[in-house]
Amino acid sequence: MKTIELHIADPPTPYQVMIGAGLIDQAGSMIAPVCPHDRAMVVCDQAVADLHAARLKASLTGAGYDVSLISIESNEERKSLDTVSRLYHEFTGARLDRHSPVIAVGGGIVGDTAGFAASTFMRGLPFVNVPTTLLAMVDASVGGKTGVNFAHHEGARGSAHPAKNLIGSFYQPVLVIADVNALATLPDRHIRCGLAECIKHAIIGDGEMFAQLERSGGATFSAWDDEARIEFIARNVMVKANIVERDQRESRLRMVLNLGHTYAHAIETWPGVNLWHGEAVALGLIASVGAGLALGITSPDCAQRVEQVVAGVGLATRMGGLPSNDELIEAMRGDKKSHGNRIRLIVPREIGSVEIVDEVSASAIGSGWDRVRK
């Protein structure tokens, strides 16, 4: 098992991210010391209710908790205030008080939604995150962002437009438990999506991990033993933790975590495009490299290595049927992370180092799109 301690300025109490094999069965005894209480609420993903959440519940019961369990369907439409409201009803019905832990078991959707409900119910209940997807282990469960989507009108393209994570809070968990055994049931396509964020982390701040990805290619993660998986997840958590600890609320430094994402958001929300987030991020990483080359920031060697690693783990590096650059750039301007009419991009310099470029010309952004266009 590996334990990483996160030190965030607000709240000042550090908390631990525990990564290991079989931890769900021991969760009760891990949670009890940080949340001494008689009652606990498990909010789980329907997909893991019978498997992992049931074992977690048994472990909590064994540790003396009176446990309620509610499962939610995880899709972006259900990541909503309606679901949060349903959770509030359940919390009330279970007579939770200000010290009752809320324990999320699932991917990023459940973690973000349950975390937001926990952060607002009675002005904040202790929150424990038990991520069960690779993406949630290396990304969504680290850093304390919680929230839900909100469909607003007059969106970027006129009609009712669901804006991702528009409602939310910064709320740190009291504990994160990542059990690599939970990933045994996760389909490969989801593993690859998680790997896209891992490649992002490696480019941002871990050249050695990048080299590991280069060496293992298609055998990355799926062929590794528990020890290698635990070590790899821990390295990813450390890259993100290192940034979040220095800039909790994204005043500047934390923006580097958006590497590839301004591009990714423009394509993944395009009507008729059926890309999963990690797949869009993979393309976004390559597009950022394209922009970086045009700006003279990214070295050609770095560009080539990024492309090879993305292809190596089995993610697409090109996409057919993309809209025009002008249309895509317009969509990028509508992104929540853009500022005014300007588009900010995170661009790799070398492996392990990136630069924040505040105002990128349309032609450089277009060079990025051209690089992923089939």
**Residues that are catalytic:** 123, 145, 197, 240, 250, 254, 258, 261, 265, 277
Determine which residue in the list 20, 28, 101, 107 makes contact with ligand NAD, applying CB under 6 A: 107
Judged by CB under 6 A, does residue 143 bind ligand NAD? yes
User: Of the candidates 269, 276, 258, 267, which has an alpha carbon nearest to the alpha carbon of residue 337?
Assistant: 258
Q: Which is nearer to ligand NAD, 150 or 214 (CB)?
A: 150
Determine which residue in the list 20, 106, 284, 312 makes contact with ligand NAD, applying CB under 6 A: 106
How far apart CA 284 and CA 296 sit, in angstroms, is 18
Going through the chain in order, the beta strands assigned E by DSSP cover: 2-6, 15-20, 39-45, 66-72, 102-106, 127-131, 145-152, 161-170, 175-179, 345-350, 353-357
Q: For residue 45, what are the β-bridge partners?
A: 72
Q: How many residues bind ligand NAD (CB under 6 A)?
A: 26
Side-chain-side CA neighbours of 202 within 13 Å: the count stands at 23
Q: Which is nearer to ligand NAD, 166 or 362 (CB)?
A: 166
Phi first, then psi, for residue 3 (nearest 5°) are -120, 130
Determine which residue in the list 151, 162, 165, 338 makes contact with ligand NAD, applying CB under 6 A: 165
Determine which residue in the list 71, 83, 100, 133 makes contact with ligand NAD, applying CB under 6 A: 133
Cis amide bond preceding 36, omega within 30: no
Side-chain-side CA neighbours of 125 within 13 Å: the count stands at 30
Determine which residue in the list 185, 304, 353, 361 makes contact with ligand NAD, applying CB under 6 A: 185
Do 169 and 147 form a contact (C-beta atoms < 8 A)?
yes
Determine which residue in the list 53, 67, 70, 112 makes contact with ligand NAD, applying CB under 6 A: 112
Name the minimum Å distance from CB 184 to ligand NAD.
8
Q: Which is nearer to ligand NAD, 146 or 216 (CB)?
A: 146
Segment 36 to 75, residues that bind ligand NAD, using CB under 6 A:
45, 47-48, 74
Q: DSSP assignment, residue 255?
A: G
57-94 burial: b if 16+ Cβ within 10 Å, else e: bebbeebebebbbbbbebeeebbbeebbebbeebbeeb
How far apart CA 331 and CA 333 sit, in angstroms, is 5
Q: Which is nearer to ligand NAD, 148 or 328 (CB)?
A: 148
Name the minimum Å distance from CB 85 to ligand NAD.
18
Determine which residue in the list 70, 72, 117, 140 makes contact with ligand NAD, applying CB under 6 A: 140
Q: Are strands 2-6 and 15-20 parallel, antiparallel or unpaired?
A: antiparallel
How far apart CA 225 and CA 230 sit, in angstroms, is 9
Segment 193 to 252, residues that bind ligand NAD, using CB under 6 A:
193
Q: Of 16-24, 57-65, 152-160, 182-190, which part binds ligand NAD (CB under 6 A)?
A: 182-190
Q: Which is nearer to ligand NAD, 196 or 351 (CB)?
A: 196
Determine which residue in the list 125, 136, 203, 259 makes contact with ligand NAD, applying CB under 6 A: 136
User: Of the candidates 176, 168, 194, 359, which has an alpha carbon nearest to the alpha carbon of residue 249?
Assistant: 168
CB-based closest residue to ligand NAD: 108
Interface residues toward ligand NAD, by CB under 6 A = 45, 47-48, 74, 79, 106-110, 112, 132-133, 135-136, 139-140, 143, 145, 164-165, 182, 185-186, 190, 193
